[in-house]
Structure 1
Amino acid sequence: MAQRTAVTGSEQPLPEVSILKAGERVPVQELLQGVIESLKISGGCLLRNFISQETVKELNDDFAPYFDKAKPLKSDFWAKETRRITGCMGKSDAYALKVVGNELWQEVGRHFLTSTLHWWLGDEQKYSPSNPQLNNTSVFKIRPGATAQSLHRDDIICHVHRPAVTSHEKGRDYGIGLFVAGTRSTRRNGATRFIPGSHLWDYAERPREELAVYAELEPGDAFMMLSGCYHAGSANTSLDEERLLYSTFTGRGWCRQEENQYLANEVERVKRLPVHLQKFMGWELSLPFMGWVGLDDPICLLSGEESEVGGYF
């Protein structure tokens, strides 16, 4: 990713985006700090070999039948050559377990998006963590001829507005995106472009196309990005290359999800997933009180067991 110059009050070089080697044999803790630092500084991070080629094939096979039936999206935001599959947690165990459930991805989300609160209940002081939750799931297939999206921030759904800062401040972010390549993702076939460092800009500042760089990926590679970064899908100017991308975003546990996980996925499929992923999908209280059903933790609806967090009501 070439370095360019941004104008955000004064001319400064755009920050470098780290490119790290991942893979099943690389310990998560060995990668974690490098990913965190890259996201703080540039807003993005590239990870080579994020998933194995066997997992890539499994994912592509799982979603192929859905793309056979997919129709063009009825939106000016999406080119007519785009096909998009949603509700992915209930459609592919490989996606749920090996993409969304990836340990490195989960740890990065916990670092940036966990909220903590100390509060009083009469004379008793309470401590309540709010864990990150799944915000949306999508698989994109971008065909030749697709036009480019306009640069945008994904945290606009939260009605957030931030002033400019000179360095990253914890608590500033509302989400993190993960894009995993199912095929080669190049500038020619429409790779995601983004503006490094734009997560630190004043949110009133408009994006500038000349500052964008491209997250080019091989199958199994991944690109992580803070949702406050300006980014967009690019034009597929190739003659015969389809770009296949697996996308997921995580968000704050107390913020409404972009994709309604309770309606997007069949409950019986959700029950088959590990409990930690059920909770990540939203079947969990954001402590102390957010998201209850019948004054109890919604995970009880899936497990049939009594709540582990009783006593708050």
Structure 2
Amino acid sequence: MATTTVTTTETERVFIPIKAESLPPVLTFEADADPADVIKALKISGGCRVKAAVDKDILWQVERELRPHIEADVVWEGDFFPIQTRRVEGMIGKSPICAEHIINHPLYQAVCKEFLTTKNWYWSGQKKIFATSDPQLNNSICFSIGPGAWDQPLHRDSWCHQTNEPEVAVYPDNYDRDVGIGWFIAGKPATRENGATRFIPGSHLWSKDRPPQEELAVHAELEPGDAFMMLSSCYHGGSANKTTDQERLLFSCFMTKGWLRQEENQYLAIPREVVLKMPVHIQQLMGYKLSQPFCGWVESDDPRVVLDPSLKDDPSGHYDEDEDKH
């Protein structure tokens, strides 16, 4: 596993390189797998594959809803994404089928609930106040990677939340280390040749200071409908599309803790008139839900009051004052 520093200087820490033979295996699960088994695998390797997570008929419908937005995207300015990349951001608001069958996938959400739910309690005078903050959507993006695209730099998506991970040998008993979980569904075959996601198994245990080692990266090759699930503290990146005629199509999202700021601002990215048409559980998944005990309120009320004024002063969704329940 990862080792400690060799030397420390005023400018940088120097690490002993990791050897490929020491990396943990990346397991593959069926879509109806026990979430507990997936959680165990993520703690060890940081990522796993899920076979046939989404029905191919659903994939076709999602692509049909998103294709006009893919074609309308403009070239990214900068070198983080290859110029052959087209993106559909705010994907949850552009494809209702994607929202329900990909982002709200039961296995993915069950794993997110375990890793990203925060439970705590506080004194209010002589009364204990128990609070639960549920996970929320961090971003949702469709990626279309065309021929000629270069390797994306290996990076951690946890960087958006200013994390400062120490180096550990095994995953801690609590879930304070990670701030997000990614979910990547292949819309078309994802292969080493056309740019499948590169990922370093075990890198979720590394220090923030340890740089990625490109030679350790493995490719998350997927058939259409397969998924790759990954902790946001893992080094990963899209790969070069070395084909001349293949599009790598990926439907992706990340969930994060309910009390953190979302990477993609869901309240501004998705128009209100679109959100109003969504089912309540999808609205709440996006963050239109109080993060207990009282984070994210609007006029001292649950934020869904801006979508449904009839909820004004409705106590449901607020913190639980029943100290005997816990």
Sort the TM-score into its range (normalised by shorter chain): over 0.9
1:279 and 2:288 matched:
no
Question: What amino acid is the match of 2:83?
Answer: K
**Superimposed CA distance per residue, residues 251-294 of structure 1 (whole angstroms, 9 cap, x where no aligned partner):** 01111000010111122221222212211101111111211111
- SS of the equivalent of 1:305 reads helix
Following superposition of structure 1 onto structure 2, how do residues 146-225 of structure 1 map, counting pairs within 5 Å?
A: 146-169=149-172, 170-225=175-230
Equivalent residue in structure 1 for 2:70, among 67, 72, 93: 67
Question: What amino acid is the match of 2:78?
Answer: S
1:19 and 2:28 matched:
yes
Q: How many residues align?
A: 301
- SS of the equivalent of 1:279 reads helix
Once the two structures are overlaid, the 10-residue window that deviates more, 291-300 or 174-183, is 291-300
Q: Which residue of 2 aligns with 1:3?
A: none
Query: Residues of 2 paired with 1:200 and 1:63: CA distance?
Result: 36
Question: What amino acid is the match of 1:288?
Answer: P
- SS of the equivalent of 1:191 reads coil
Indicate if the aligned counterparts of 2:129 and 2:319 stay in contact, CA closer than 8 A.
no
Question: What amino acid is the match of 1:8?
Answer: T
Query: Residues of 2 paired with 1:182 and 1:310: CA distance?
Result: 39
Q: Which residue of 1 aligns with 2:85?
A: 82
Give the deviation of 1:304 after TM superposition: 2.4
Query: Residues of 2 paired with 1:136 and 1:204: CA distance?
Result: 25
Q: Which residue of 1 aligns with 2:147?
A: 144
Equivalent residue in structure 1 for 2:38, among 24, 35, 38: 35
- SS of the equivalent of 1:151 reads coil
- SS of the equivalent of 2:294 reads coil
Query: Residues of 2 paired with 1:173 and 1:213: CA distance?
Result: 21
Give the deviation of 1:105 after TM superposition: 1.1
Once the two structures are overlaid, the 10-residue window that deviates more, 31-40 or 114-123, is 31-40
Q: Which residue of 2 aligns with 1:48?
A: 51
1:126 and 2:121 matched:
no
Indicate if the aligned counterparts of 2:156 and 2:235 stay in contact, CA closer than 8 A.
yes
Question: What amino acid is the match of 2:198?
Answer: R
Equivalent residue in structure 2 for 1:235, among 224, 236, 240: 240
- SS of the equivalent of 2:310 reads coil
Once the two structures are overlaid, the 10-residue window that deviates more, 222-231 or 162-171, is 162-171
Question: What amino acid is the match of 2:28?
Answer: I
Question: What amino acid is the match of 2:297?
Answer: W
Query: Residues of 2 paired with 1:143 and 1:311: CA distance?
Result: 48
Query: Residues of 2 paired with 1:266 and 1:205: CA distance?
Result: 40
Indicate if the aligned counterparts of 2:2 and 2:206 stay in contact, CA closer than 8 A.
no
Equivalent residue in structure 2 for 1:100, among 96, 100, 103: 103
Give the deviation of 1:181 after TM superposition: 0.4
Indicate if the aligned counterparts of 2:2 and 2:168 stay in contact, CA closer than 8 A.
no
Q: Which residue of 2 aligns with 1:290?
A: 295
Query: Residues of 2 paired with 1:269 and 1:77: CA distance?
Result: 30
Query: Residues of 2 paired with 1:36 and 1:311: CA distance?
Result: 27
**Superimposed CA distance per residue, residues 74-124 of structure 1 (whole angstroms, 9 cap, x where no aligned partner):** 122111110001111111111110011111111110000011111001111
Compared CA separation, residues 96 and 245, structure 1 to 2 (3 A): same
Question: What amino acid is the match of 1:253?
Answer: G
Give the deviation of 1:299 after TM superposition: 1.1
**Superimposed CA distance per residue, residues 125-165 of structure 1 (whole angstroms, 9 cap, x where no aligned partner):** 10011111000010000000001111111000111111111
Indicate if the aligned counterparts of 2:293 and 2:319 stay in contact, CA closer than 8 A.
no
Query: Residues of 2 paired with 1:85 and 1:74: CA distance?
Result: 15
Query: Residues of 1 paired with 2:157 and 2:2: CA distance?
Result: 22
Give the deviation of 1:303 after TM superposition: 2.3
Following superposition of structure 1 onto structure 2, how do residues 106-117 of structure 1 map, counting pairs within 5 Å?
A: 106-117=109-120
Query: Residues of 2 paired with 1:92 and 1:173: CA distance?
Result: 28
Once the two structures are overlaid, the 10-residue window that deviates more, 32-41 or 125-134, is 32-41
